[in-house]
Structure 1
């Protein structure tokens, strides 16, 4: 009989020297180790879930729009920013957000030159005033496939996305969405 034998006990696979442990001792060792390991894993999982829920609840309260289900799932969805004026220069607080424009007259949306590549802003024309995207000094606005840079009408949506930004001050914005002129 070999000096070392493989034992397979639920939760434990390993090599033991049968001369040193009886079968009962092996089972007891395996059960103790398995229970302790399981308890440690469950405790770690509970702590991670607790930390995640606390962070989600805190961020959800700050955003003001997370539902209980979103918070519990760790999803935070920021409330749209409502804009009532006739002009808006996009800034860092707007990045990765939805802006809901309610003006009854035309709105100028200025896209900055210093936005990092990958930045996006989603807009909704909730009011009658069409949204026209314009480039700040140093930036470039590339319209949709037909070169359009103005929303098509009330309830239109569009997304402006920074494709590149050479040197951090020459953002190239691409537009996509329901654009009309």
Structure 2
């Protein structure tokens, strides 16, 4: 597959179980940029809370979003891919404030598919019991937000290819296709 370089920082977003950790590295490889796992930016208290089946609140998420935003800012003009649930518009606004120009890839799918995938994960701290709170919190990308929605049916390679195609469609017509 052809590698397509991008100077953008792409945030792969969506509820738990949509495949952010699987699709993110594949997308980064296709775009020729580094990948950062969003879960690695959580402070230990957040991991402990989620592991106990307690959803994070907005206050819990702020240091996590700020750490992701700082990473994205450091990659401005260089490109990168980072995963983050980025479920609320306010969270995405915070990431954009830290790193203007970020683009979102919203991984979407029906609850049954996502729950099935979550139930087969090994060693992840996020329990399936928190999926309802994720869907309740989710505010899909608005028309004025730079980003694309990508369905998660199919295999990882197929999903990452759809993401690359969707991202290419966002490129201004004045730029040559890469």
Give the TM-score of the pair, scaled to structure 2.
0.24
> Higher helix proportion, which one?
2
Which of these two proteins has the greater Rg computed from alpha carbons?
A: 1
- Larger relative contact order (C-alpha < 8 A, sep ≥ 6)? 2
Give the TM-score of the pair, scaled to structure 1.
0.23
> Higher strand proportion, which one?
1
